[in-house]
Amino acid sequence: MKALVCILLLLETFVFVVQQQVDGGLNENEISQQISSEDGRQNPPQTDTLRAEASTDRQQYCDLGIPDIHAALRELTATVTEQKEKNRELTATVTEQKENIRELTATITEQKENIRELTTTVTEQKGHIRELTATVTEQKEINRALEMQQTFILEELKKKNEDREIAFSASLMESGSGFIGPFTTHFTLTYRNVFTNIGNAYNPITGIFTAPLKGAYMFRVSVFGIGPTAASAAIFKNGEHVVITHDNQPKNDLNTSNGVVLILEVGDVVYMRESWNGMELENVGDNGALTHRRGTHWEIGIHRRQVDDVLSPNINILEELGEIKSMETKMKSLETEMERLRTENKDREIAFSASLVESGSGYIGPFTTHFPITYKNVFTNTGNAYNPITGIFTAPLKGAYMFRISVYGVGGTAVSVSIIKNGEIVVSAYDYQPQNVLNSSNGVVLILEAGDVVYVRLGSGRRIYDNKSNHSTFSGFLLFPLR
Ligand X SMILES: CC(=O)N[C@H]1CO[C@H](CO)[C@@H](O)[C@@H]1O
Task: Please report, as ranges, the residues that interact with ligand X according to CB under 6 A.
Answer: 247, 249, 252-256, 355, 361, 377, 379, 431-433, 436-437, 439-440, 467-470
Of all residues in the shown chain, the one whose CB is closest to ligand X is 255
Nearest to 267 by CA among 205, 215, 221, 219: 215
Q: Which is nearer to ligand X, 374 or 377 (CB)?
A: 377
Q: How far is the CB of 254 from ligand X (least distance, A)?
A: 5
Q: Which is nearer to ligand X, 143 or 355 (CB)?
A: 355
Q: Which is nearer to ligand X, 364 or 447 (CB)?
A: 364
CB distance 393 to 477 below 8 Å: no
Nearest to 138 by CA among 298, 299, 305, 301: 305
The DSSP H or E segment spanning 228 is none
Q: Which is nearer to ligand X, 395 or 414 (CB)?
A: 414
Q: How far is the CB of 360 from ligand X (least distance, A)?
A: 9
Q: Is the dihedral of CA 416, 421, 425, 428 positive or negative?
A: negative
Question: Can you point out the beta strands (E) in 181-334?
Answer: 187-189, 193-198, 202-203, 208-210, 215-226, 231-237, 240-247, 253-264, 269-274, 279-280, 284-289
List phi, psi (to 5°) of 140. Answer: -65, -45
Q: How far is the CB of 171 from ligand X (least distance, A)?
A: 17
The DSSP H or E segment spanning 358 is none
> What is the rounded end-to-end Cα distance, in angstroms, of the chain?
137
Q: Which residues pair with 169 in a beta bridge?
A: 196, 286
Q: How far is the CB of 362 from ligand X (least distance, A)?
A: 11
List phi, psi (to 5°) of 263. Answer: -90, 120
Tell me if residue 262 falls in helix, strand or coil. Answer: strand
Half-sphere exposure of 289 (CA within 13 A, CB side): 30
Q: Which is nearer to ligand X, 457 or 471 (CB)?
A: 471
DSSP H helices in 25-171:
28-40, 49-65, 69-163
Q: Which is nearer to ligand X, 199 or 366 (CB)?
A: 366
Q: How far is the CB of 256 from ligand X (least distance, A)?
A: 4
> What's the rounded Cα separation, in Å, for the pair 178 and 170?
16
Q: Which is nearer to ligand X, 125 or 384 (CB)?
A: 384
Q: Which is nearer to ligand X, 152 or 379 (CB)?
A: 379
> What's the rounded Cα separation, in Å, for the pair 465 and 436?
13
> What's the rounded Cα separation, in Å, for the pair 314 and 309?
7
Q: Which amino acid is at 133?
A: T
Q: Which residues pair with 386 in a beta bridge?
A: 393
Q: Which is nearer to ligand X, 201 or 438 (CB)?
A: 438
Q: How far is the CB of 241 from ligand X (least distance, A)?
A: 20
Q: Which is nearer to ligand X, 167 or 354 (CB)?
A: 354
CB distance 66 to 56 below 8 Å: no
